[in-house]
Amino acid sequence: MSAPLSLGAALKAAILAALLAALLATAWHELVSEPLIDQAIQLEALRQPAEMEPAPVSRDMQRIGLGVQLALYGLTWALALGGVFSLAQEALPGRGRGARAALLVGGAGWAVALLPFLKYPANPPGVGEPATLELRQVLYFGLMALGALGGAGALLLWHWLHRRPARTWAAQHPGPAALGAYGLFCLALLALLPSNPDPTPVPADLLLGFRLRAALGLVCFWAVFAAAFGLLVQRWSARPAAPRAVQQPAVPGAERS
């Protein structure tokens, strides 16, 4: 079995994978989401023309800013997940380090991105009351934290069931049992946490189209991140160690020849 991947190698693999994911997600939003955002801005201007103020940043700069934000978003999660993987790579489920790396990133994407999006989906620009901004942020980031804690609990449950005698179905199938428990936990979060308090005064087709594109953008980012990170980890873990130079014994008198 190959040696564990070092912290530097894990971080390098995670950063490269995240930047690739950010690039592809930026292309997705530029081609698919931005036209719908322009439509939403135009509708907001028609709905409340007197209250609309000139945007401090042009749309072109906003498009560039989206790419920068996605790159910083990817770098942040790359540093976090690369560090976690370097410490826990032997404790994660999965056959091979590449599968473990992909599973770690995929699970993180569900917990911190897709799960909060299901409860608090993104809205087009101009939708949302400034007075409820703090509450909405607390709800969103609270669900992120709970989703991540639940994922860590599912991993601990898998380890505990894995060590139990195989007398019950859960002990015989620790992976599906832990995943099922986490699924029930996520359903409880979605059912019990309060909904978004703001109305959405935009056409239903525009709202659904925007949310669908935003969700697919998240899926694109995290799927590419997980796949690229797993492939890089698998490839770099399979590299043979550099052979050490063998020092030849000195031959008496050779230096005088």
Asked if the model's pLDDT at residue 255 lies above 70, the reply is no
Taking the C-alpha atoms of residue 174 and residue 157, their distance in angstroms, rounded to an integer, is 8
- What was the pLDDT predicted at 240? 58
Cα–Cα nearest to 13, from 242, 238, 241, 231: 231
- What was the pLDDT predicted at 60? 64
DSSP class of 120: S
- pLDDT tens, position by position, 96-110: 899 999 999 999 999
- What was the pLDDT predicted at 122? 82
Say which amino acid occupies 46. L
- What was the pLDDT predicted at 167? 82
Taking the C-alpha atoms of residue 251 and residue 246, their distance in angstroms, rounded to an integer, is 15
Domain extents in the chain: 1-49+57-127+200-239, 129-198
Supply 15's token pair. Answer: 């950063």
Query: pLDDT band at 22, cuts 50/70/90?
Result: very high
- pLDDT tens, position by position, 50-69: 444 555 556 567 667 778 89
Taking the C-alpha atoms of residue 109 and residue 218, their distance in angstroms, rounded to an integer, is 8
Q: Is 100 exposed, middle or buried (0-12, 13-18, 19+ CB in 10 A)?
A: buried
More confident residue, 207 or 54: 207
**Cα atoms in the Cβ-side hemisphere of radius 13 Å centred on 56:** 0
Taking the C-alpha atoms of residue 18 and residue 232, their distance in angstroms, rounded to an integer, is 12
Supply 203's token pair. Answer: 């056409």
Average pLDDT over residues 230-238: 89
- pLDDT tens, position by position, 171-196: 888 889 999 999 999 999 999 999 88
